[in-house]
Structure 1
Amino acid sequence: MPTSTYSCLVVNLDHVAANYRRLAEEAKTAECAAVLKADGYGMGAVPIALRLHQEGCRSFFVAFAHEGVALREAFVDRGLDAHIYILNGFFPGAEGTYAEFHLIPALTDLDQVDRWQAFCHMTGRKLPAALHIDTGMSRTGLPSKEYMALASNPELLDGMDLKLVLSQMAYSHDENMTFSIQQRQRFDQAIRHLPKMKASLAKSGVIFLGPEFHYDMVRPGIALHGINPINEKANPLQQTMELWGRIYQIQDVVVGQSIGYSQTFVAASARRVATIGVGYADGYPWVLGNKGQVDIAGYKAPIVGRVSMDVMTVDVTDIPEIHLEMGGWVRLMGGDISVESLAKLAGTVPYEILLRMGKRFRRVYLQS
């Protein structure tokens, strides 16, 4: 562990790679892409993309152009190539950036289709694009009347290189199979009417619904980080990250003494308390004050008092003295303190827990 920091986020790239291989195995003959939105779900898009490229991944998805530019620059610097899709399409005037960095926009409405075609004609280049179909999310994507307009007027797609048609599923796994099957059927209908190109529907948990959801490409995202993609069943994936903080003060608390803001914890007996250099400014959930716990050398220490901006306090009364030292490392996430369990305790979803992990953490990447 680094010695000059209060906290550390450890990402095991070998575990990310193992999860990718497991997902690719589940996808069978379909290509396995990687979704690395929001800086790879907070874990670092560039190092993850480079590791997955070693595993044979050649298609990457991000939400915005600047995320795609960062990936492209990292690939170019190392003499690598890959398809980089931008899920949120593009704003007027951004066409040049997409062309310069070889980014593939997922066109989400007829206006984007028109503007991308016009740019292709203006530059005299047949530039790549994807079509994003709305099959039930009512959020982004071409609704049926718009993709049918493209089917009825195929000249609207002339001049561009259509790489992929995709859609987003409303459910992560099998929570509502009736609606998921409806979405798949709507996607099949769209494919029948559009020009022939590769198709992609399945995200992380949907991959495990079976080959009828796989099409030509699957798009795992959060599953790459070992978040259980199949709800209450045994997790087939490996955890990829651990969050560590350091002890920087230990003190004794007497009966009746309060700890932290608003006196939300008052000692009912003499206690020993350690202060850890991680708080809600780092992304640790404020709501876990007096609810969460940390791991010190295999012993659990409950959080006492509120989680503050920069620190939290934990009860170390029952932890052997040998494991308590200034600068000692405490595990806040990882092992049997899973992302899922923290999310459940905080009343949120694993996505938010991962994405909260702030920039103040020193990031360490492990790989063989």
Structure 2
Amino acid sequence: MIPAEHESTEISAGLSLTVDLAAVAENYRIICQHLAKGATSAAVVKADAYGLGMEECSRTFHQAGCRFFFVTSLDEALAFRKIQKDWPVATLHGLGGLRNIHDISAYYQNNIIPCLNSLEEVRLWHAAAKQTGQRLPALLHVDTGMSRLGLPPEEFAQFKEHRDDFSGIAFLYVISHLACADEPDNPATEDQYKKFCDIKEALPDIPGCFANSAGVFYDPKLHFDMVRPGAALYGLQLSPRQPEMQPCLYLTAPVLQLRSLNKGDPVGYGSTWRVQKNNSLIATIPAGYAQGYLRCLGNKGRVYIHGTECPVVGRVSMDLVTIDVTEVADRIKCGDRVEILGKNRRADTVAAEAGTIGYEILTSLGKIRPRLYLR
């Protein structure tokens, strides 16, 4: 359940989503404590800060010392600009597929920094700089092994050869993205590191930004000038080398109804689960896939109530979940709150039950409104 210091009279009658901003700040501090000398940490606040709220989390990171932010798209960057007009914010999706110089004006008019992901984007951004008569800031993204975004080797070779042709761009950082840093024994990370070192050798005047959350805790040599964690800031555990982060998101729901059932009685759509023994107690709570509780957790997931983990039984419905609470039958009643996510039910644990990753759990359940923020 929510720790005593997180209890509030503002809890709603239904689902209650609470974000612990003190824990968010502590996670940022934990990351900073592990940085190589001279390195700083940005904060990735894409996807509404992984479901926890871009505005509140960004302000929390800034108060903790963060001075650079990452989002995915122009739309997210414009939303960020409504929060703060001056804090540096970069779009990981670069110019978002736009190919016309007039279409990209919203970037430089709102002081938004694109991560240029191709030579075509570099040329377009340089053309915009020439048109405006000012040097425009950007990040240069070079692919070292993700085969996703970023300049591939052949385009980077052309960029190096013609770099003087792009004098209109002020390159703040050269970046790349790690694919396997959450797997300590995967040789791909060392291979990417060597490639990034070659890139930095070719661009010694541009600071480097390489490590994601898992990379922060992989090895300090990956830190270069700035790291850009995302998931770890919000309490997710990415690597066995990572210290324990603080859980930031608490989701509880009240028991709507209790039913005493006997062996063989069906529960839920499709009767996919039947009661195992007589005098079993089944609780129903107001959560379902419409609220972001994944349907695949039917007959797999667990919740926490009165010091006990209890199994989800039957299919997850659109807005209802059924739980076998027989183990706490002597002390449960309607209105008692069930912990779906929190200190006892970490996002990574729920993700393992669902066969997914903690990112999906946070971004799915984080859509619930209203949110309560604790500072």
**Which bin holds the TM-score, normalised by the shorter protein?**
over 0.9
Matched with 2:235 is 226
User: How far is 1:195 from its partner?
Assistant: 6.1
User: How far is 1:5 from its partner?
Assistant: 4.4
User: How far is 1:322 from its partner?
Assistant: 4.3
Tell me how far apart the structure 1 counterparts of residues 115 and 291 of structure 2 sit (CA, whole Å).
Answer: 33
Tell me how far apart the structure 2 counterparts of residues 336 and 120 of structure 1 sit (CA, whole Å).
Answer: 52
| Letter of the structure 1 residue corresponding to residue 21 of structure 2 | L
Tell me how far apart the structure 1 counterparts of residues 35 and 273 of structure 2 sit (CA, whole Å).
Answer: 50
Matched with 2:16 is 8
Matched with 2:348 is 340
**Deviating runs (4+, > 6 A) in structure 1?**
none
SS of match in other structure, 2:287: coil
Mark the runs of 5 or more structure 2 residues left unpaired by the alignment.
Answer: 1-7
Query: Contact 1:59–1:82 at 8 Å: present in 2 too?
Result: yes
- Structure 1 pair 176–134 and aligned structure 2 pair: CA distance change class (3 A): farther
Tell me how far apart the structure 2 counterparts of residues 193 and 148 of structure 1 sit (CA, whole Å).
Answer: 10
SS of match in other structure, 1:72: helix
Tell me the TM-score normalised to structure 1 length: 0.93
Is residue 284 of structure 1 aligned with residue 293 of structure 2?
Answer: yes
Q: How does 1:317-328 map to 2 (within 5 A)?
A: 317-326=326-335, 328=336
Per-residue CA deviation, residues 142-176 of structure 1 (Å, 9 max, x unaligned), is: 01221121111123321111111000011133444
User: How far is 1:64 from its partner?
Assistant: 0.7
User: How far is 1:128 from its partner?
Assistant: 0.5
Query: Contact 2:217–2:242 at 8 Å: present in 1 too?
Result: no
Per-residue CA deviation, residues 251-303 of structure 1 (Å, 9 max, x unaligned), is: 22233321110001112322221110000111112112122211112222221
SS of match in other structure, 1:313: strand
Tell me how far apart the structure 1 counterparts of residues 280 and 332 of structure 2 sit (CA, whole Å).
Answer: 16
Quick one: which of 300, 307, 321 aligns to 1:312? 321
Matched with 1:85 is 90
Quick one: which of 298, 304, 308 aligns to 1:299? 308
Tell me how far apart the structure 2 counterparts of residues 4 and 339 of structure 1 sit (CA, whole Å).
Answer: 22
Question: CA RMSD for the aligned pairs?
Answer: 1.7
Matched with 1:210 is 219
Matched with 1:18 is 26
Query: Contact 2:42–2:226 at 8 Å: present in 1 too?
Result: yes
Query: Contact 1:15–1:238 at 8 Å: present in 2 too?
Result: yes
| Letter of the structure 1 residue corresponding to residue 371 of structure 2 | R
Matched with 1:136 is 145
| Letter of the structure 1 residue corresponding to residue 110 of structure 2 | F
Quick one: which of 251, 256, 271 aligns to 2:264? 256
Tell me how far apart the structure 1 counterparts of residues 248 and 11 of structure 2 sit (CA, whole Å).
Answer: 22
Matched with 1:194 is 203
Is residue 167 of structure 1 aligned with residue 172 of structure 2?
Answer: no
Tell me how far apart the structure 2 counterparts of residues 358 and 43 of structure 1 sit (CA, whole Å).
Answer: 6
Tell me how far apart the structure 1 counterparts of residues 342 and 351 of structure 2 sit (CA, whole Å).
Answer: 13
Matched with 1:58 is 67
User: How far is 1:314 from its partner?
Assistant: 0.8
Query: Contact 1:7–1:246 at 8 Å: present in 2 too?
Result: yes
Matched with 2:133 is 124
Is residue 365 of structure 1 aligned with residue 370 of structure 2?
Answer: no
SS of match in other structure, 1:251: strand
SS of match in other structure, 1:67: helix
Per-residue CA deviation, residues 213-253 of structure 1 (Å, 9 max, x unaligned), is: 1100011100001211323x574321111111122122222
Per-residue CA deviation, residues 191-214 of structure 1 (Å, 9 max, x unaligned), is: 222361111100101111222111
Per-residue CA deviation, residues 37-91 of structure 1 (Å, 9 max, x unaligned), is: 1111111111100111101101001111111111121013xxxx32101011012
Q: How many residues align?
A: 361
| Letter of the structure 2 residue corresponding to residue 355 of structure 1 | T
Tell me how far apart the structure 1 counterparts of residues 190 and 181 of structure 2 sit (CA, whole Å).
Answer: 13
Tell me how far apart the structure 1 counterparts of residues 360 and 52 of structure 2 sit (CA, whole Å).
Answer: 12
Q: Which moved more, 1:87-96 or 1:101-110?
A: 87-96
- Structure 1 pair 358–221 and aligned structure 2 pair: CA distance change class (3 A): closer
SS of match in other structure, 1:183: helix
Tell me how far apart the structure 1 counterparts of residues 283 and 142 of structure 2 sit (CA, whole Å).
Answer: 52
Tell me the TM-score normalised to structure 2 length: 0.92
Tell me how far apart the structure 2 counterparts of residues 332 and 187 of structure 1 sit (CA, whole Å).
Answer: 41
- Structure 1 pair 73–40 and aligned structure 2 pair: CA distance change class (3 A): same
Tell me how far apart the structure 2 counterparts of residues 162 and 188 of structure 1 sit (CA, whole Å).
Answer: 17
Query: Contact 2:305–2:337 at 8 Å: present in 1 too?
Result: yes
Q: Which moved more, 1:48-57 or 1:266-275?
A: 266-275
| Letter of the structure 2 residue corresponding to residue 344 of structure 1 | A
Matched with 1:42 is 51
User: How far is 1:361 from its partner?
Assistant: 3.7
Tell me how far apart the structure 1 counterparts of residues 246 and 31 of structure 2 sit (CA, whole Å).
Answer: 11
- Structure 1 pair 267–236 and aligned structure 2 pair: CA distance change class (3 A): closer
Tell me how far apart the structure 2 counterparts of residues 360 and 236 of structure 1 sit (CA, whole Å).
Answer: 26
| Letter of the structure 2 residue corresponding to residue 6 of structure 1 | G
